[in-house]
Every structure is written in structure tokens, then in C-alpha cells.
Chain A
Amino acid sequence: DGGITQSPKYLFRKEGQNVTLSCEQNLNHDAMYWYRQDPGQGLRLIYYSQIVNDFQKGDIAEGYSVSREKKESFPLTVTSAQKNPTAFYLCASRGELAGGSYNEQFFGPGTRLTVL
């Protein structure tokens, strides 16, 4: 099946530890995105990548890092510098809508990170 996978679904870490969230897609999409979601708020962009080996900061990149060594993978590391890391993290990739005229973002199932 084609799709976007994020693992694990739930992640617990102690304060001060770095943690890496996985995002994989087999849709052959070039562009990938990471968002953070907090209760009652919209999705806020952390980092995005339009092509392999290239990525740009989003609106809230501080305390996060990414890599894009392969087209299908865009892992996000939440570092100890992130002051409030507990949140729901969503990965998306951008590809063709049915009909083929436009490209839009499609989301993975998310990872809920809790820092204790």
C-alpha cells in the first residue's frame, strides 16, 4: 500500500534527552513537511524539504533538527533545547491530487511525544 508512515505512535522521553521521530513515504513525493500540533491550535510548520539533501526552517524550528538523505525519509529530531516538546507531531508529503492538476499535502498518522 502507498502511504505515509510515522513511528512510533506514542513516545515517552525524559527531559533533557534528544529523540528522533520517523517519517517514511512510498508515494515518490519530493516535498515533505513536519508540523507540531498543540490542543486548540492549528498546525505549525517546523521544517520542510522540497528535495533530497535540502531543507528549510519553518515557523518554529528552534530546538528541532531534520535530515533528508533519502527521498522517502524525513526524520525529525527533538533536541533538549526545545523548551516544551510535549505535543502531537505530524509529517506530510506533497503530491498529486486525483485528476493530476494540482499538488497538495497528505498527512501521516502522527506521533504523540510526551516528555516526562
Chain B
Amino acid sequence: GQQLNQSPQSMFIQEGEDVSMNCTSSSIFNTWLWYKQEPGEGPVLLIALYKAGELTSNGRLTAQFGITRKDSFLNISASIPSDVGIYFCAGRAFSSNTGKLIFGQGTTLQVKP
């Protein structure tokens, strides 16, 4: 099955630093989602994007739906230890009427206090 290219694969940063990660696809999507997964738990939806160019924030998190419809970006400002986890992007194609999502491989974030 198709997968999205998500980068970086992992990040180890100092508390207080800003974080950026992105996802790219060879296909056009009409929806981009960002999930966070903590160890041993299910992913939790952080941000949903539905329009090209859309910029949406959720606290210290900001995500953007790329103008080309083939990419999305997630930024975390002033990171704190509880930001640790795996961040997944997910996209849904225009042709999907089943709600099926395609997931990136995830970005593992570790924050040093």
C-alpha cells in the first residue's frame, strides 16, 4: 500500500527548542491529519486540515496544508518533556469515500529536560 514520506525519522532536542517535521506524497490529498502517539497507547488526533494553504494551530502546535496539496508541515514551539512521542501524518485522497487514510512512517521526538 501507498505510504507517505515523513521526515525526519527521529529527533532528539533540548527542552525549549522549536521542532519542525513534514510529510510529502506523490498524490494529491484533500485532507491532512496529524496524530501523536505516546508509548503503548493509540494515536490521538492533534490537528486536521482540509484546504490547501490552511494554517491551523492547537496550542503550541501549528500545522499547514501545502499549496500543492502534496505536503503538510507540523511545527511545535517551545518544546516540553511531555511532547515526547511519535508524530504521524495521515492523508486522504480525493477519490476516497471510505474514510481510508494513508499514514507516514512517523517522527519519534525525544526532549531532553
- Residue numbers of A with Cβ under 8 A of B are 4, 6, 31, 33, 40-45, 48, 50, 56, 58-60, 90, 92, 94, 97, 102-110, 112
Contacts and interface: CB of A to CB of B under 8 A. Distances in A.
A42 B33 CA distance: 14
Given A4-B42, A43-B43, A45-B100, 17 more contacts: A33-B100, A40-B9, A40-B106, A42-B103, A42-B105, A43-B88, A44-B103, A50-B98, A97-B45, A104-B45, A105-B99, A105-B101, A107-B42, A107-B43, A107-B44, A108-B42, A109-B41
8 contacts: A6-B42, A33-B99, A43-B43, A45-B101, A102-B31, A103-B99, A105-B99, A107-B43
Interface in B40-64: 40-45, 48, 50
Contacts of B66: none
A90 B88 CA distance: 14
A59 B50 contact: no
A38 B58 CA distance: 28
B3 interface: yes
Nearest to A10: B40
A45 B50 contact: no
Contacts of A50: 98-99
Interface in B1-36: 1, 3-4, 6, 9, 31, 33, 35
Contacts of B43: 43, 90, 107
B50 A109 contact: no
A42 B104 contact: yes
A26 B57 CA distance: 29
B43 to A, nearest CB: 5
Most chain A Cβ neighbours within 10 Å, of B3, B50, B98, B100: B100
B63 to A, nearest CB: 14
B99 A31 contact: yes
Top 4 A-B pairs, shortest CB-CB distance:
A59-B1, A107-B42, A42-B103, A43-B103
